[in-house]
A = this chain, B = another copy of it.
Amino acid sequence: MTVSEKSFDTASKTSKSKSNTHQALEILRNMILSNELASGSNHLEKELASLLGMSRTPVREATLILEAQGLVEVKPRHGVRILSLSSKDMAEIYEILTELESLSAELAANKDLPDDEFLIAEKAIRDMDQALKNEDREAWAEADEIFHSELVRLGGNKRIADVIDKYNDQVRRVRYLTLNLRPTPTQSNEDHRNVLTAIREGKATTARKLHTAHRIQAKTMLLALLDKYGFHNI
């Protein structure tokens, strides 16, 4: 590794230099999630290759992986299409997230976990409180995501985490867009606290029901917002 490569590598992210394919995957994924590559837009392989400064081969491989992950659709001669989501798509995804997170809450409650397993979730709750006080919605959203992913981690099923990560990727854009349109998430903080308490107390059914209610509420709110602001494909 040359010095310049090394410094670039350090500057970027991890210390191990990944293949161009995996770099392309990571960069494109980030550009999609941040809407730098707008949903609904099409991009030819050549365009992406020159954007990323590499040949078509690794770009092509990255787009095939992104397609398998549900973020794009590869349409020969029309380029790679960044997938957009309808309200129906959102509803489908939220149905899955609700179900698998709620199951995770139940599983976690049945485990009699030691106190130190809850540290991150508790911090996330505190951060959400603080973020509400500061009226900092980005900080709130970040802590909210940490709380939800902790819930899944505590459930202990890695594949549930995989599925949820995949669908969270697909809706992150939408969630971000509505972050400042939605009402203050005061109730959410209360909900989270109650779910975590139920888990700590081993009340599996309660934990599950509380979390399901929490998620259904979030879904209803989001779909109403999309409708209200006329976002039909996002």
Contact = CB atoms under 8 A, between A and B. Distances in A.
Interface of A: 21, 57, 60-61, 64-65, 67-69, 92-93, 95-96, 99-100, 103, 107, 157-160, 163, 167
6 contacts: A60-B61, A61-B64, A95-B103, A96-B159, A99-B99, A100-B100
Given A96-B160, A159-B167, 5 more contacts: A57-B57, A61-B64, A92-B159, A95-B157, A96-B159
Contacts of A167: 159
Per assembly, the copies of the chain total 2
Main secondary structure of the interface of A (DSSP, over half): helix
Contact of A68 (B68, B93, B163): B68
Contacts of A163: 96, 163
Nearest to A106: B99
Contacts of A157: 92, 95-96
A158 B92 contact: yes
* A-B complex: 7 closest residue pairs judged by Cβ atoms: A68-B68, A92-B159, A92-B157, A99-B103, A65-B68, A61-B64, A64-B65
Nearest to A99: B103
Contacts of A99: 99-100, 103
A21 B57 CA distance: 13
A105 to B, nearest CB: 12
A191 to B, nearest CB: 21
Nearest to A66: B68
Nearest to A157: B92
A69 B159 CA distance: 12
A95 B92 CA distance: 19
Contacts of A61: 60-61, 64
A218 B69 CA distance: 29
A13 B57 CA distance: 29
Contacts of A60: 61
A136 to B, nearest CB: 32
A160 B92 contact: yes
Contact of A69 (B68, B107, B158): B68
